[in-house]
Structure 1
Amino acid sequence: MSKPHHLEVLHRAPAPGAARNAPPLLFVHGAYVGAWCWEDTFLPYFSGLGYDCHALSLVGHAGSAGRERLDLCSLGDYQRDIADVAAQLAAPPVLIGHSLGGYLAQRHARKHPVAGLALLASVPPYGLAGSLTYMGLSAPHLLGGLNRFQWHLGPDGLDYALLRELLFSDSMTRERLNAFAARAQPESTLALTELLMPQPWLLMGMPHDVPCMVLGAEHDRIIPRIDVMATARAWHVEPEFVAIGHALMVDSGWEGVAARLANWLGVSFGGAR
């Protein structure tokens, strides 16, 4: 799929009076969601700290065009989306990618200028094959649940207990879980298939001059600790971990993740004051 398409981009300007002396932030969501996953948490948090915040919905997701042809969307299409949005910003952004979005951010940084990378519960550079093998061996019921989530027929077709175990910590409220499930959507079958193809060579050749943060979720049932560590090694940094579930931008306790990210941004770029 190569035709131009409308992309939804949520924007939160820096808080009034904040000096815009830091690079813009571009948030890239993971599978099954859209830019909305950052809307009530990270976007107001970081715009309040003085950052110029943008979050895109990849083609076929949320408010972006292409839902009717979602299964034909490739990882290459998603990477073009990021490149198109990043090119419209005032300066190369800090890419903040979650899960699939983290994988895409890494691929983008190999070819395009970025101010930095923050990889949150990210798919590692070599793809999802190892993660899903681990899940199949350690928690086959969750792998089955993930497959059902891909084809769910709306909130009534979901197993909420399994969804909580798969994506969230035990403290996630049913109200927030319901709100997440109501807006979640299937993912591109083509893109997921591409992610399952082992790509070990992508562990090599990462830029050495790109500031990078790699943050793993201690209660992640999708991305195991070993994958977080492999991603960190590829980017020549030490990984950090926080006690939260995979969907860490909406899980209970997301503020702790945001605080870690804010601290790294302040150290790396002097903050936005």
Structure 2
Amino acid sequence: MKKRIPLPLSLPLGYLSVLGGWILYRLWRADPAKTLQEDANRHPKGVSWEREETFDGGTLRRVVEDGIERVTCIPRERRFETPLFFMHGMWHAAWCWEDWQKQLAAWGWESHAISLPGHGASPAQRSIQFCTLDYYLNFLRGEIARLPRKPVLIGHSMGGALTQWYLKYVGDDLPATVMVASWVSHSMLADNLLRYIRLDPAGLPLMLFHWDAAPMVRTPQVAARALLSPQALITPEELHARLVPESALVLFQHNPPFWKPPQNIRTPMLWVAGEADAFFSVEAMRRSAAHYNADFYLAPGAGHDVMMEPSAPDALRYIHTWLSERM
């Protein structure tokens, strides 16, 4: 007689089987080329919120227009014609770039940052569980197309993955790109899974059960272990209060067979890594930089949120110098 799986065990196994099938179905259906032919933004047109502030280096304008939060920083004295475009990562929004935007304005750079739908002040346009990288990419493509001049694209974490997807599916024709603690080039699971399980053994089961990535940053302490060093300039409570739910599909999509990094990228690239990044090892980030023939900078002692670390000013100065030599 065949042994039957006990009922308490069969229920979660059945759930995981159905979930696994649903993941494969959603990811096999995702077609970046087809997605990019669609009009991503279904939100009613118009400005729903606007605010402007001046500071020593220039003007910072925040607006929610056509359902997208846009933060534009105009320098008081412009030194560079090429604008910068910032793309946030998982759970974050345009707010994470504000300090860098202001400092770069003081150095003469115009910059733009957006919040993807469901992030920051941008209202969600579909359930977070159904958001994929190609869905987000279509918004990124549309926002860059609005600018009169192609920008330097600077992406943090998932924003770095979207930068790689942009180069592959939209165009390898940007003035430069900067990866800040970016997702690795080839496979999130191969380079990240075991490292993450050791960091937070409960995070993956909770993510699979709820089917979004919010459990990965479920408390201030859990979020800080993943994103910050102990010396970070922001407290775990301050950070956690600003984080939002995130898609889990995106984590699986940036892996074979759904993703293969482009070869022989022509766009100049700088890869900025955090020495104390809990998600990615320095070795994995160096390998990714080498694949794209990118220059590499290691921010001493920095966690995954490099922009919020004591070494952030030095990292930003390096980025500024690197870009200045190429613009």
With the shorter chain as reference, the TM-score category is: 0.7 to 0.9
Distance 1:141 1:211, change over 3 A: closer
Q: Give the aligned partner of residue 23 of structure 1.
A: 82
Match of 1:227 among 264, 284, 287: 284
What secondary structure is seen at the aligned counterpart in 2 of 1:203?
coil
Distance 1:217 1:148, change over 3 A: farther
1:113-152 alignment runs, 5 A limit: 113-136=173-196, 140-142=198-200, 144-145=202-203, 150-152=213-215
Q: Give the aligned partner of residue 194 of structure 1.
A: 253
- Which stretch shifts more, 119-128 or 75-84? 119-128
Distance 1:75 1:68, change over 3 A: closer
1:1-273 alignment runs, 5 A limit: 2-5=40-43, 6-14=67-75, 16-19=76-79, 21-39=80-98, 41-66=99-124, 69-110=127-168, 111-112=170-171, 113-136=173-196, 140-142=198-200, 144-145=202-203, 150-152=213-215, 158-160=219-221, 162-172=222-232, 176-195=235-254, 197-199=255-257, 202-208=260-266, 210-243=267-300, 244-269=302-327
User: Shift of residue 265 of structure 1?
Assistant: 1.0
What secondary structure is seen at the aligned counterpart in 1 of 2:263?
coil
1:230 maps to amino acid: R
What secondary structure is seen at the aligned counterpart in 2 of 1:202?
coil
User: Shift of residue 158 of structure 1?
Assistant: 1.1
User: Shift of residue 256 of structure 1?
Assistant: 1.8
- Paired residue total: 258
Quote the sequence identity (%).
Answer: 24
What secondary structure is seen at the aligned counterpart in 2 of 1:198?
coil
What secondary structure is seen at the aligned counterpart in 2 of 1:268?
coil
Greater per-residue strand proportion: 2
Distance 1:218 1:194, change over 3 A: same
TM-score for both structures, normalised by structure 1: 0.85
User: Shift of residue 22 of structure 1?
Assistant: 3.1
Q: Answer 1 or 2: higher relative contact order, Cα 8 Å, separation at least 6.
A: 1
Task: Mark the runs of 5 or more structure 2 residues left unpaired by the alignment.
Answer: 1-34, 44-66, 208-212
Distance 1:46 1:148, change over 3 A: farther
2:140 maps to amino acid: I
Task: Mark the runs of 5 or more structure 1 residues left unpaired by the alignment.
Answer: none
Distance 1:63 1:200, change over 3 A: closer
For residues 214 and 153 of structure 1, the distance between their equivalents in structure 2, rounded to whole angstroms, comes to 25
